Amino acid sequence: MLRQFHDIAINQLRVDPKTMAEAEVLARTKNVLLVHALIRLKAADSNKLLAAWAHCHKLQIADLDAMDIPADIIQLIQDQVARQARAIPIDRVGNNIIVAVENPHDLNTINLLQLKTGYSLKTVLASEEKIVKALARYYPQRGLELDKYTKSNATQLRNKPLESRLVIDESSSADDGPVNDLINRIMMVCLQRGASDIHVEPYENYMRVRLRIDGALQEIARPPAHMKAAMASRLKVMAGLKIEEKRLPQDGQISVTIEGRPIDFRINTLPTWHGEKVVLRILDKSSLQVDMTKLGFEADDLRRFKDSIHKPYGMVFVTGPTGSGKTTTLYSALAELNQVSDNIMTAEDPVEFTLDGINQVHIRAEFGLTFADALKAFLRQDPDIIMVGEVRDRETGEIAIKAALTGHMVLSTLHTNSAADTIVRLQNMGLESFNLISALQCVVAQRLARRICANCKILDTSIKPDYLVSLGVPRDVAATAKVHKGKGCELCGGTGMKGRVAIHEVMVMNDELRAAIMRTAPAMELKAIGMRHGMRTLRQNGLIKMLRGEMDALEVVSNTAADDEAEQSGYHAA
Ligand SMILES: [Zn+2]
């Protein structure tokens, strides 16, 4: 086989024999396949070399550049393992994963992958270069490096321990140097700790820097008062705002590159009594979770939600208060639906993330472009799928329904507490019940709760079975249930919580619900019908996550209070 390859390489691909000898040494000393050594030495066209090698060794080739590997395949191999084995999963057939590697016959790699994944392996050949590119594409490193603004001390920053509080030299001057350094450090800590917003606040005798982490603000620094003006000015320069304008609020955007990841911050300045307050909101595209399986839906709920959005036409609502993760769920639905054959249009206020292949329109009511206007324009643009940021009024609702009834899938949000409340709200808005039941496919109510910190998770022995029963846990389950909480540690800043977990309530339309909507039944009754048809309430889904050790009891209760009130008012679903 090797002989045959030699012949093809030298006689057909015109590899110089001297280069061949060099490649053989390289292959032996670097422990790589001869073909990769030849490619490294640019002995001939890399695709042809690879094809010849595959032919002689009866291997298949994976052209990783030309593939779009779905996330559920990628996650079959953990990123660490993928990087160690330099392997990219490309497909799954039954209990076999097909994996692209540099050496398909290397038993160490095959054993490692089988051990780590629990699957049998079928290996295919790929070039070193394409594997490196694919690793960077599918397993991006979540490192921390502010290269655009801190090239010189990037390494130093990366090696810094996780800071929960910034130490500031009180004698720092208001010159550019210390101010730049402080802003860089604040952005670093923001990323390290997974914060969503940075608040830079001026007070009379000091400044305060706070980060919003998992929904709650935490103070990380108190810079001296004399840095107030310089901090605001520097941030305004970075965002291209007018520095001399200090009396009016301004909006802008800052773009930095951190460890190869482009990070955008939306910035807003506001004149306060003691100076300009600046708020930055991180728009980290790589953190946008568009993979639906990672949204935290229970498996059956995800299936029902997916079935609904894949219907040829109709309306699907995702509802909840501000900060409940509605937008993320809608974006992941759009990503799921995003196919070349479909024209997808969105009207958003504002456009938070840009998605490839989707026409996104920024609603500007102040210039006379409302949700209703955008929707009307969309209908003249031959859409298949439409997302409306929010149905705020009857006009928008009516056009959305009309779009749904004329063969389009319409996704939208509302600020309501529950799935059943959403239907009542739409009726109260003045929408015709008959049109509503014809268009509506599904309503998902959502909350974003805080997850117990995995690093300091302990049993919560204060929770007694009787209390669990009062929350709605069946008595036999409650008797042996284990409930956890976070004790508080360095990693979670002492809060006992790290990360988020979404809770859902998925109400899919059925004939009984449609009949109830036609006779304008109250929300309680709609909820009861939904539950008879398999809907779990937010509370019930929260309890499932609590018993699985993802959330503590207080988080469940505080995020699903609406279901509690229903129980106390003597209402029983069964
Ligand atoms: Zn912790």
Q: What is the CATH number of the domain that holds 275?
A: 3.30.450.90
CA 487 to ligand 1 centroid distance, Å: 6
- Note whether residue 470 is domain-resident: no
Helix pair angle (523-532, 511-518), 10° resolution: 170
Chain segment 498-522, per-residue pLDDT in tens: 888 899 999 999 999 999 999 999 9
pLDDT of residue 286: 54
Q: Which of 427, 429, 482, 436 is nearest to 458 (CA)?
A: 482
Least confident range from 277-281, 339-343, 399-403, 543-547: namely 339-343
Specify whether 200 is located in the same domain as 60: no
Whether pTM > 0.75 for this model: the answer is no
Angstrom CA distances, 130 to 71, 127, 133, 138, stand at 18, 5, 5, 12
Distance CA 375, CA 158 (A): 46
Chain segment 282-292, per-residue pLDDT in tens: 876 555 656 77
Specify whether 233 is located in the same domain as 303: no
- Note whether residue 468 is domain-resident: no
Q: What is the largest CA-CA distance in the chain?
A: 89
CA 123 to ligand 1 centroid distance, Å: 40
CATH number at residue 336: 3.40.50.300
Specify whether 297 is located in the same domain as 249: no
CA 472 to ligand 1 centroid distance, Å: 28
CA 488 to ligand 1 centroid distance, Å: 4
- Note whether residue 491 is domain-resident: no
pLDDT of residue 317: 97
Specify whether 395 is located in the same domain as 355: yes
Helix pair angle (538-547, 561-568), 10° resolution: 110
Q: Taking the CA of residue 74 as centre, how many other CA atoms within 13 Å lie in the half-sphere pointing to its CB?
A: 18
Specify whether 268 is located in the same domain as 318: no
Q: Which of 12, 108, 90, 92 is nearest to 51 (CA)?
A: 12
pLDDT at 265 over 60: yes
Name residues whose C-beta falls within 8 Å of residue 291's C-beta, 6 or more positions apart in sequence.
71, 72, 332, 335
CA 108 to ligand 1 centroid distance, Å: 37
Concatenate the DSSP letters of all residues of 16-31 into one string.
-HHHHHHHHHHHHHHT
Chain segment 450-506, per-residue pLDDT in tens: 999 999 999 999 999 999 999 999 999 999 999 999 999 888 878 899 888 899 999
153 against 449, higher pLDDT: 449
Cis peptide before 350 (omega within 30 of 0): yes
What is the band of 406 on the pLDDT scale with cuts at 50, 70, 90?
very high
CA 549 to ligand 1 centroid distance, Å: 14
Name residues whose C-beta falls within 8 Å of residue 533's C-beta, 6 or more positions apart in sequence.
508, 510, 512, 513
Angstrom CA distances, 417 to 170, 179, 420, 506, stand at 47, 44, 8, 13
pLDDT of residue 352: 74
Specify whether 317 is located in the same domain as 278: no
pLDDT at 231 over 80: yes
Specify whether 192 is located in the same domain as 308: no
Share of the chain above pLDDT 90, in %: 43
Least confident range from 106-115, 387-396, 474-483: namely 106-115
What is the band of 171 on the pLDDT scale with cuts at 50, 70, 90?
low
Number of domains in the chain: 3
CA 192 to ligand 1 centroid distance, Å: 15
- Note whether residue 253 is domain-resident: yes
Chain segment 336-355, per-residue pLDDT in tens: 888 777 889 999 887 777 77
Where in 85-176 does DSSP place strands (E)? 88-93, 96-101, 120-125
Residue that terminates a domain, selected from 104, 129, 154: 129
Residue that terminates a domain, selected from 71, 99, 129: 129
pLDDT at 167 over 80: no
How many CB atoms lie under 10 A from the CB of residue 172?
A: 17
pLDDT at 164 over 70: no
Of the spans 53-62, 115-124, 346-355, which averages the highest pLDDT?
53-62
CA 458 to ligand 1 centroid distance, Å: 10
pLDDT of residue 177: 77
CA 493 to ligand 1 centroid distance, Å: 7
- Note whether residue 475 is domain-resident: no
What is the band of 573 on the pLDDT scale with cuts at 50, 70, 90?
very low
Specify whether 432 is located in the same domain as 317: yes
CA 555 to ligand 1 centroid distance, Å: 15
CATH number at residue 110: 3.30.300.160
pLDDT of residue 449: 92
Helices marked H in 289-432 — which ranges? 299-309, 326-337, 371-379, 394-405, 419-428
CA 292 to ligand 1 centroid distance, Å: 27
- Note whether residue 560 is domain-resident: no
Distance CA 450, CA 552 (A): 9
What is the band of 273 on the pLDDT scale with cuts at 50, 70, 90?
confident
Specify whether 266 is located in the same domain as 311: no
Distance CA 437, CA 430 (A): 14
Chain segment 302-337, per-residue pLDDT in tens: 999 999 999 999 999 999 998 888 988 998 898 888
Distance CA 233, CA 243 (A): 6
Q: Taking the CA of residue 420 as centre, how many other CA atoms within 13 Å lie in the half-sphere pointing to its CB?
A: 21
Do residues 457 and 486 lie in contact, with contact meaning Cβ atoms separated by under 8 Å? yes
Specify whether 280 is located in the same domain as 305: no
Residue 268: give the domain boundaries.
141-285
Distance CA 529, CA 532 (A): 5
pLDDT at 99 over 90: yes
Specify whether 239 is located in the same domain as 376: no
Distance CA 394, CA 410 (A): 16
Distance CA 448, CA 502 (A): 4
CA 459 to ligand 1 centroid distance, Å: 13
**Mean per-residue pLDDT over the chain, rounded:** 85
pLDDT of residue 260: 62
Specify whether 228 is located in the same domain as 251: yes
pLDDT of residue 298: 93
What is the band of 148 on the pLDDT scale with cuts at 50, 70, 90?
very low
- Note whether residue 458 is domain-resident: no
CA 485 to ligand 1 centroid distance, Å: 10
Residue that terminates a domain, selected from 79, 98, 129: 129
Average pLDDT over residues 249-272: 81
pLDDT at 65 over 90: no
Share of the chain above pLDDT 70, in %: 90
Least confident range from 60-74, 259-273, 302-316, 470-484: namely 259-273
DSSP element (H, E) containing 83: helix 79-85
- Note whether residue 372 is domain-resident: yes
CA 457 to ligand 1 centroid distance, Å: 7
